[in-house]
Amino acid sequence: MIFVHQGWAAFVLITLTLVLQSAGMASLIQWIKAQFPKGISHLGLFRSAVLVVRFTSLLVCLHMLEILLWAWFYRWKCFATWEASFYFSAANYSTVGPSGDLFLKQMWRTMGPVESVTGVLMCGLSASFLFAIVTRLVEHEEPELAEPLPLTHAAEPAADCRDNEKPE
């Protein structure tokens, strides 16, 4: 029966985390469309940098909300204080792990690793989102940088290795 409780709690928390991440990223996309109706081409170096800093800051805030969601669960079921709950959640979400001073009740001990996996995936989504924005900025400012590099002789496979072998 404990596994059912853990599974249900994990399912709900993962689903809510995904909803927060998706809604946050969708909101950021809508915001950028409203701020730059003609697109982000030709923003210039300074405005491009400001845009990346703003997006990164907003994504960090989004991750803090997700950490607070998990902290709320830990506060409700495991820890007596918000400080302990937030610390434990942030440590697990970032995959650092708590330093051994806090432990979940045995019934909920699998929630830490579940939060870690979820945190890695959400950070991966954010990183890919930022990569897409930076790629778009580079494509508009320096189109030749966005083109794939041609293969050079150094990147091609080495000559037939059998040429160097001794005959048997």
Per residue of the chain (168 residues), give pLDDT as tens: 777 888 899 999 999 999 999 999 999 999 988 988 877 767 778 888 898 999 999 999 999 999 999 999 999 999 999 999 999 999 999 999 887 888 888 888 899 999 999 999 999 999 999 999 888 888 766 666 666 667 776 555 555 555 555 555
Residue 151 lies in a domain: no
**Per-residue confidence (pLDDT) for residue 1, from 0 to 100:** 74
Q: Which helix (H) or strand (E) holds 42?
A: none
Give the Cα separation of 30 and 28 in Å (integer).
5
Residue 127 lies in a domain: yes
Q: How many domains does the chain have?
A: 1
**Per-residue confidence (pLDDT) for residue 162, from 0 to 100:** 54
Q: Are 137 and 43 in contact (CB under 8 A)?
A: yes
Residue 14 lies in a domain: yes
pTM of the model: 0.78
Q: Are 51 and 155 in contact (CB under 8 A)?
A: no
Query: Could you give phi then psi for residue 144, rounded to 5 degrees?
Result: -70, -25
Rounded to the nearest 5 degrees, what angle is found at the Cα of 124, between the Cα atoms of 40 and 113?
A: 155
Residue 68 lies in a domain: yes
Give the Cα separation of 141 and 39 in Å (integer).
12
Residue 73 lies in a domain: yes
Structure tokens given for 91: 């440590």
Give the Cα separation of 115 and 67 in Å (integer).
9
Residue 13 lies in a domain: yes
**Per-residue confidence (pLDDT) for residue 12, from 0 to 100:** 96
Residue 45 lies in a domain: yes
Nearest to residue 93, comparing CAs of 113, 79, 107? 113
Residue 67 lies in domain: 2-146
Residue 142 lies in a domain: yes
